[in-house]
């Protein structure tokens, strides 16, 4: 009887995920079915208990990233273990966090999230959504770059709530037909303020951190400890008059570069790799203290830890991690000094052959989170020319 009821719970959950069942009806049916099956706890806790045996949900970025995860990690894991991996797509970090908050206590429909940037790792900890991984159950962690692991460990009191999965940068892309490599490397971050490029510059309009980061480098400051913020704002106001476009998506970034509408811009390293693979003559510049970030698989509190840890260890198998990295154009978190990398990985922007990530700088989560409200509002005014 209980097996039949748990099967019904699976069907209810699938209907909810597909959108054919409202949240209110989902909770109502879950309560009735859960009581009949003898499952106790909160509605989403019941869901987590009912589905833990058979499935786990991973939220990621969609597109080529989700395709790579599905093909090279999730489907092989299901084939090997019989556990279904439900892949879902989020619209963005803030929107996803709002959904997780609404599902509290977590652990039902939200299990593992493919998050980006260490300031989100801190946000989840501060909200009490962090789990504690049993690292002995994830032996492939030994192959991950130590600097990535320690960056996360320092935020969660020596423990881990996630495993680093890939590394990326928001560096500078430039048109090699219009800008020489020598000039780009000489100017560094100041390439984004080159008066010869007035009307041909671009930047990501949706993120105050990226723009303040490069303005800090341009004005000779540490982005994680800006001592003269007025110089940063003045630089961004100056840059505004030189802008061709504040782009809003990766596809728009690629289109602007590919069509020659802009000659230089901040750019996600994976998107630059995609353009280079397509044959576009685009250079990539990573000045010292380039805005760098890691993507990690974050296990949300309340999830089935045994399944989560087994999946994470599977995803860190070199064959799986390298195949996913090729598919999404970001180097894996695996240490190249321990795991041999194919040429396709070595050629990716943001790849570090040493595994030390020297010259890469992650955003200090405490520093940037404390400034978010004030500086994001200020950035919107500067961008609008107010």
- What is 340-383 written as a DSSP string? ---HHHHTSTT--TTSS-TTEEE--HHHHHHHHHHHHHHHHHHH
Residue 324 confidence (pLDDT) above 80: yes
pLDDT score at 106: 61
Based on the fold, state whether residues 46 and 118 are members of the same structural domain.
Answer: yes
Over residues 306-313, the mean pLDDT reads 98
Based on the fold, state whether residues 371 and 341 are members of the same structural domain.
Answer: no
pLDDT score at 53: 56
pLDDT score at 312: 98
Interatomic CA distance for residues 164 and 177, integer angstroms:
36
Interatomic CA distance for residues 267 and 286, integer angstroms:
10
Based on the fold, state whether residues 232 and 328 are members of the same structural domain.
Answer: no
Q: How many residues does the chain have?
A: 386
Residue 6 confidence (pLDDT) above 60: no
Span 192-241, pLDDT tens digits: 999 999 999 999 999 999 999 999 999 999 999 999 999 999 999 999 99
Based on the fold, state whether residues 113 and 69 are members of the same structural domain.
Answer: yes
Span 162-198, pLDDT tens digits: 999 999 999 999 999 999 999 999 999 999 999 999 9
CATH number at residue 63: 3.40.190.10
Based on the fold, state whether residues 149 and 13 are members of the same structural domain.
Answer: yes
Domain count, the chain: 2
Span 21-50, pLDDT tens digits: 444 454 444 444 444 433 333 333 333 344
CB 299 within 8 A of CB 112: yes
pLDDT score at 14: 47
pTM, rounded to two decimals: 0.82
Interatomic CA distance for residues 205 and 91, integer angstroms:
17
Residue 20 confidence (pLDDT) above 90: no
C-beta neighbour count of 372 within 10 angstroms: 13
Residue 314 confidence (pLDDT) above 60: yes
Pairing mode, if any, of strands 243-247 and 264-268?
A: unpaired
Over residues 320-341, the mean pLDDT reads 97
Interatomic CA distance for residues 25 and 32, integer angstroms:
11
- Count the helices and strands in the chain (H runs, E runs): 17, 10
Residue 360 confidence (pLDDT) above 80: yes
Based on the fold, state whether residues 158 and 33 are members of the same structural domain.
Answer: yes
Which of the residue ranges 26-30, 72-76, 368-372 would you say has the lowest mean pLDDT? 26-30
pLDDT score at 386: 87
Based on the fold, state whether residues 39 and 145 are members of the same structural domain.
Answer: yes
pLDDT score at 251: 92
369 phi and psi angles, rounded to 5 deg:
-65, -35
Average pLDDT of the chain, as a whole number: 88
Over residues 304-319, the mean pLDDT reads 97
Find the domain containing 280 and state its range. 168-292+362-384
Based on the fold, state whether residues 126 and 224 are members of the same structural domain.
Answer: no
pLDDT score at 107: 57
What tokens does 355 get? 């595994």
Over residues 371-377, the mean pLDDT reads 96
- Region of 112 (left: φ > 0; alpha: ψ -120 to 50; beta: rest) is beta
Over residues 314-324, the mean pLDDT reads 97
Over residues 13-19, the mean pLDDT reads 46
Over residues 242-263, the mean pLDDT reads 96
Based on the fold, state whether residues 59 and 187 are members of the same structural domain.
Answer: no
Half-sphere exposure of 167 (CA within 13 A, CB side): 31
Based on the fold, state whether residues 48 and 123 are members of the same structural domain.
Answer: yes
Task: Please give the span between the terminal C-alpha atoms of the chain, in angstroms, as a whole number.
Answer: 66
Residue 115 confidence (pLDDT) above 70: yes
Based on the fold, state whether residues 228 and 271 are members of the same structural domain.
Answer: yes
More confident residue, 138 or 21: 138
Based on the fold, state whether residues 40 and 112 are members of the same structural domain.
Answer: yes
């Amino acid at each position: 009887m209980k097996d039949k009821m748990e099967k019904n719970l699976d069907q209810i959950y699938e209907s909810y995920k597909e959108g054919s069942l409202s949240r209110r009806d989902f909770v109502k049916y879950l309560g009735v079915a859960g009581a009949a099956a003898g499952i106790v706890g909160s509605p989403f806790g019941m869901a987590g208990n009912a589905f833990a045996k058979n499935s786990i949900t991973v939220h990621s970025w969609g597109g080529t990233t989700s395709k790579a995860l599905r093909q090279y990690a999730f489907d092989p894991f299901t084939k090997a273990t019989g556990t279904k991996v439900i892949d879902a797509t989020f619209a963005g970090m803030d929107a996803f966090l709002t959904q997780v908050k609404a599902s509290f206590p977590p652990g039902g429909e939200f299990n593992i999230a493919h998050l980006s940037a260490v300031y989100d790792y801190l946000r989840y900890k501060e909200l009490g959504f962090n789990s504690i991984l049993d690292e002995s159950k994830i032996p492939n962690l030994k192959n991950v770059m130590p600097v990535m692991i320690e960056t996360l460990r320092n935020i969660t009191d020596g423990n881990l709530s996630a495993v680093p999965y890939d590394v990326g940068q928001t560096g500078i892309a430039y048109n090699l037909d219009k800008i020489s490599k020598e000039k780009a490397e000489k100017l560094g971050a100041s390439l984004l303020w080159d008066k010869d490029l007035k009307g041909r510059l671009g930047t990501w309009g949706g993120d105050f951190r990226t723009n303040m980061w490069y303005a800090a480098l341009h004005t000779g400051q540490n982005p994680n400890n800006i001592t003269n913020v007025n110089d940063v704002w003045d630089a961004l106001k100056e840059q505004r008059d030189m802008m061709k476009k504040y782009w809003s998506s990766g596809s728009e970034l690629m289109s602007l570069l590919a069509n020659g509408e802009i000659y230089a811009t901040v750019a996600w390293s994976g998107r630059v790799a995609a353009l280079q693979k397509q044959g576009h003559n685009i250079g990539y510049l990573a000045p010292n203290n380039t805005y760098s970030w890691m993507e990690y698989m974050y296990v949300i509190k309340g999830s089935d830890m045994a399944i989560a840890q087994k999946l994470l260890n599977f995803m860190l198998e070199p064959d799986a991690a390298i195949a996913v990295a090729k598919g999404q154009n970001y180097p894996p978190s695996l240490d190249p000094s321990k795991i041999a990398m194919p040429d396709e990985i070595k050629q990716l922007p943001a790849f570090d052959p040493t595994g030390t990530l020297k010259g890469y700088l992650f955003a200090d989560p405490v520093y940037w989170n404390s400034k978010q409200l004030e500086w994001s509002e200020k950035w919107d005014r500067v961008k609008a020319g107010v």
